[in-house]
Structures are given as C-alpha cells and as structure tokens.
Amino acid sequence: MNLSAWLSAEILGLGFLLTFALLFYIFYYWKHRASYQKELEELRRIDAFTRLRKTIGQAIENGRGLQISIGSGGLNGIRGAAGLVSLSMLLVITQKSCKGDQSPQVTSGDGALASLAQDTLHKAYRLAAVESNSKASQNQVTGITPFSYAAGAMLTILDQPLQANLLAGNFGSEAGLLAEAGERSSQLVIAGSDGLPAQSVMLATADDALIGEELFAGGAYLSAEPSHEASVKAQDILRWIIILIILAGVILKLAGAL
C-alpha cells in the first residue's frame, strides 16, 4: 500500500512550510532580543566560506577586486532561489568591501537578476554610508543564454586583476569554464550552485566548492544578520524533522501498518 494515499501530500507540504515559518520567527526574535555577538562560531566550519571571508579582507588590502558571478537562472522556480541567495551574499560582501573602494564586479545572465544586483549594490553603499561610485560596467549582463553568459564572464575574469571569483547562483556544467578561467589568471575560485552537474564540475575545478544546501547558508556564514542565523537554525530543525518522518514511515512500513 502506498503511503501517499494514506497521507495527502498537500497536508504534509503545508505542515513543512508552516513548521519552517514558525521556527524561523521564533529564532528570529530570539536572536533579535539576545544581542548575539558570536553567531559565526555557532556554525560548523565550511572551508569555502572561511576562505571567502579572508579573501574579502585581502581584496581590500591589495586593491584587487572580487568578481561575483550570480548565474543565469532568472527569478523563477528553484533557479530563482539560487539567484536570490547570491544577491543576499552580494549585499554582505559589498558592504564589507566597498569601504576600501573595492566593491565587487558582478556578472549575470538575466535582466531581472542584473537589475536586482544593481539595487543591491546601491543598498550596500547606502548601508555602508559610502558614496556610490558604481559604474555601468561594474554590473553587467555578459550574455543571455547560459553558454554565452559563461563565455562573456570568462572574458571579464581574464581581463581584470581580480583577487578572487565567487560563482554563486544557478549554473550548468559551463561553470567549469568560468572556474578554469579564474585558475588561468591565478585567482582564487570559490563556487557553489543549486544545479547538480554544476556542483560536480565545481568540485573538480574550483579551489573551494559549496555542496548542495551549503550555498543556501551563504548569508549566515558571511553576515551576523539575525534573519540569516534564524533561517539556518530553522533549516537544521526542519531537516531533522524530515529525517524522523522518513524513519517513522519506514518503521511503520516494516510493521506493516502502511
């Protein structure tokens, strides 16, 4: 007998969503109240993020910029989520680096993402109370299909004396070409994507790769924002809930209850 017949998928899904939203709010207010200082120590070490945080500082020291490629996913569906994560990372990175007049170079493969990146840059300048000096070429669409985007981004990577490349967003296997271009110009390459082929390629080509869900924790690892912290905590708990549901379901199945 099929479990989905016994338990309506919609109900289960709604349960997941509400649980997550609830947990998110609880943690959000908890973090907000308690004036938390050591959020970062509360997360397991992920080499890619550790190195990224160092690199941001070094970029300012050497006056060499960062390039952030936020992919060509657009805003729809799961790909869109990857793009939104990369934007929240862009906000944090720009806030940190624009004081040293080293605001990052952004490339994207979609108009909506590029516009959002522009707004994010402005917002970062505003929050950092720095005069916006962003040029049109600082945030550009380098191509409109995944491969033409990758090809254009390769050229911008090869052209500029960059400290590091962050590939965060929706990519296909063409991400390998971007990573290789960064390697050619001896830049550090940190890469993460929601696409699975891209992840395998990044693992092989990039200096540091983010696997699966790690990309979606980017905000929490880079900033001390309570909302990011809260969502990571909520993610952890939701994950355990799913694990328990699977275990319970299997046990019930073995017991023949389903």
Partner 1 sequence: MDSITCLTCGHLNPPDNHKCEICGSPIETQDSPIDATKSGSQSPNPPEDLSSPHIPGEIHGVGGLLGKASLTPAQQAHTRLLKELIAGEGTTPTPPGQPKMRANNLLRIGVGSVIILLILISLLVELPFFSPPELSSETLAARQLIYSLPPGAPVLVAFDYQPAYIGEMSRASQGILAHLMAQQAYLTLISTQPTGPALAELLIAEIGRYTGSVYQAPEQYQNLGYLPGGASGLLIFSEKPHQMTPVTADGEPAWENSEVNQINHISDFSLVLVITDDPETGRTWIEQIGPKLGDKPLVFVSSAQAAPILQPYYASQPQQLQGLISGVAGGMAYQESALFFLNNNQAGVPWSTYSLALWAGAAIMILGVIVAFICRMNEEDSEPRSGGMKP
Partner 2 sequence: MRRRPFSVFLLVIAIASGLVVLLGYWINLPALATLRDLFVRWAAILAGMAVLVGILNLLYVHWLKVSQPKPGGAYSLALLIAFVLTFLVAIVDTPTGSWSLWIFRYVQLPVEASLLALLAITLLVAVFRMLHRRFDWFSLVFIGTAILILVGSTYLPEVNMPVLQSLRTWLLQVPTVAGARGILLGIGIGVVATGVRILTGSDRPYEG
Partner 3 sequence: MIIGLLLTLCVFSYWLHDNALFRLAIHIFIGATAAYVTAILWFNVIWPQVLHPIWSGNLKNTLLALVPLILSILLIFKVFPRLSAAGSPALAYMVGVGAAVAIGGAIIGTIVPQTLTAINSFDLQAAQTSGESSWITTINQGIILIGTLTSLVYFHFSARQKFNQPPARAGWIEDIARIGKIFIAITLGALLAGVFMAATAALVERLNFLSQFVQSLISG
> Is there binding between residue 235 and partner 1 (CB under 8 A)?
no
Closest approach, Cβ 31 to partner 1, in A, equals 25
- Does residue 73 contact residue 114 with C-beta atoms inside 8 Å? no
Among 92, 211, 222, 257, the residue binding partner 3 under the rule CB under 8 A is 211
Tell me, by CB under 8 A, how many residues bind partner 3: 72
Does 233 sit near partner 3 (CB under 8 A)?
yes
State the Cα–Cα distance between residues 184 and 182, nearest whole angstrom: 5
129 in helix, strand or coil?
coil
Instruction: Point out which span in 16-24, 115-123, 168-176, 219-227 binds partner 1 (CB under 8 A).
Output: 168-176
Rule CB under 8 A: say whether 194 interacts with partner 1: yes
Do 167 and 146 form a contact (C-beta atoms < 8 A)? no
Dihedral sign of CA atoms 183, 185, 187, 192 in order: negative
Q: Does 116 bind partner 1 (CB under 8 A)?
A: no
Which residue among 209, 217, 220, 234 contacts partner 1 (CB under 8 A)?
Answer: 209
DSSP of 82-137: HHHHHHHHHHHHHHHHHTTT-PPEEEESSHHHHHHHHHHHHHHHHHTT------GG
Q: Which does 158 bind (CB under 5 to 8 A by kind): partner 2, partner 3, partner 1, none?
A: partner 3
> Which residue, 127 or 246, has its beta carbon nearer to partner 3?
246
160 binds partner 3 (CB under 8 A): no
Half-sphere exposure of 21 (CA within 13 A, CB side): 6
- Contact between 59 and 65 (Cβ < 8 Å): yes
Decide: 121 and 139 in contact? Cβ < 8 Å.
yes
What is the chain's length? 258
Q: List the one residue out of 180, 173, 207 whose CA is nearest residue 191.
A: 207
Nearer to partner 1, 164 or 220 (CB): 164
Q: Which of 138, 148, 160, 227 binds partner 3 (CB under 8 A)?
A: 148
**Residues at the contact surface with partner 1, assessed by CB under 8 A:** 2, 44-48, 51, 54-55, 58, 61-62, 64, 74, 76-79, 144-147, 163-164, 170, 172-174, 183-184, 186, 188, 194-197, 207-209, 211
